[in-house]
Structure 1
């Protein structure tokens, strides 16, 4: 697969029409259509339902969109870093869990940008499970993770400090005014918990509970939407 053709495919996926994509790419519509058909032939699958207006993607096309975005992002980042010859410059991509402990990284980023203003930071928030996949695929330069049990496989630094675990509850909940929530109280109400396996391990270690003892109604990877 050529990156050029993947860019063509993404343009069609984003605009919804061959005409708009061709205009955006500054190519003729027949040439664009021919390139997409060659891509489908190469992959052996149909990517676009052309009879729909605007065009729609097949399940295979939907899958390729995400993969193409990742491949092009890595390629663009590589080109940017290679072309930065006059000074220390380029793009550093950091994946991070959502935690106040990220302040340690913020301080390092602040110093880096003062010393090397041509360096750009791309920050991606997510769960450790998702971000570790990105790190292994070369999409991240650094991973800031909590409860990370696979350190032996990587170069790493331990940061000082610790997160405090807690429970978000509605202000009108019967337990809202309690100074602390016990393990026994947690088993009496429906809960949403992190889907990371390390969180389940910590339930056993810190609370003496197994996930099977909880009335779990939802699992999430980031706390923001789950809290709402």
Structure 2
């Protein structure tokens, strides 16, 4: 597969029409049709369902589109980072979940872009599995992992900050009068769980023998939409303490849980991979920010 042909394929998939894609690519429609047909022959699969002039992706085509977009994104990122060696430039890409530790990372990034205005920053949001996948396929420089997941295959840096789990609820919920929430308090309640916590069975273990008496109604991977369910009194929600909007007009409050659960925050990157100059600078400044804080403690 040539990169040129992957570009052609992505354009056709986005336009869902061969003529419009050809106009976008500034080539003739017959030439584009031949390239797509040759790609299907090379791969031995059908990429498009052809209905009159409208094209839809087959399951194989959808898979190729996802892979092609990541491949082309990686090519662009690599090209930009190779275009300069005399000064700090290029792209810095980080995949991360929502976390208190992101403030330290944003402080470091802010210093970089103020000093090196040609640097471009790309922040991708998702849970730990999303961030690790992006790191593994090379489309990000760093992933920020929240929680005690295995990172043995990566280089890593643990941040001083810790995330603490709490339970979010409406301010007039009966449990809002309690100082802390214990497993027995949640018997018979509906709970929205973090997708990552669900996969790790974090709260099932925390609940112990009470787990079978709690109704886990589903999961979320980013915080905001889950809070809307809590506002509607459809469920309570396990979340991290610094992510919950409990301002006076929010109608929400959070309560600490007992026994307490906290999460490590770690920045990871691939072992043995040569980092771009801007990625090396980011890592250097991040380490310095941690050492400086430890020095003044």
> Alpha-carbon deviation of 1:208?
4.4
| Deviation string, structure 1 residues 162-198 (Cα, Å, up to 9, x no partner) | 1121223345544345443321222321212122258
Aligned to 2:51: 51
Aligned length: 228
- Correspondence list, 1:1-228, <5 A: 1-171=1-171, 173-196=173-196, 200-203=200-203, 208=208, 212=212, 214-228=214-228
Q: SS of the counterpart of 2:156?
A: coil
Q: SS of the counterpart of 2:51?
A: coil
Matches of 1:116 and 1:75, distance apart in 2 = 22
> Alpha-carbon deviation of 1:134?
1.5
Matches of 1:140 and 1:154, distance apart in 2 = 14
Matches of 1:20 and 1:210, distance apart in 2 = 59
For structure 2, the residue ranges without an aligned partner over 5 or more in a row are: 229-297
| Deviation string, structure 1 residues 45-85 (Cα, Å, up to 9, x no partner) | 11111224421111111111111111100011111111124
Matches of 2:161 and 2:86, distance apart in 1 = 38
Compute the TM-score of the two structures, normalised by the length of structure 1: 0.89
Q: SS of the counterpart of 2:181?
A: coil
Matches of 2:107 and 2:6, distance apart in 1 = 38
Aligned residues of 2:16 and 2:55 also touching (Cα < 8 A): yes
Aligned residues of 2:100 and 2:162 also touching (Cα < 8 A): no
The CA RMSD over aligned residues, in Å, is 2.3
Q: SS of the counterpart of 1:152?
A: coil
In terms of fraction of residues, the more strand-rich structure is 2
| Deviation string, structure 1 residues 142-170 (Cα, Å, up to 9, x no partner) | 11111143243322211112112122334
Q: SS of the counterpart of 1:156?
A: strand
Matches of 2:201 and 2:81, distance apart in 1 = 40
CA gap 1:38/1:131 in 2 versus in 1, 3 angstroms: same
Worse overlay, 13-22 or 165-174: 165-174
Q: SS of the counterpart of 2:72?
A: helix
Worse overlay, 176-185 or 114-123: 176-185
Matches of 1:10 and 1:121, distance apart in 2 = 24
Aligned residues of 1:203 and 1:209 also touching (Cα < 8 A): no
Compute the TM-score of the two structures, normalised by the length of structure 2: 0.70
Aligned residues of 1:203 and 1:210 also touching (Cα < 8 A): no
Matches of 1:11 and 1:198, distance apart in 2 = 38
Higher RCO (CA < 8 A, seq sep 6+) = 2
Aligned residues of 2:184 and 2:210 also touching (Cα < 8 A): no
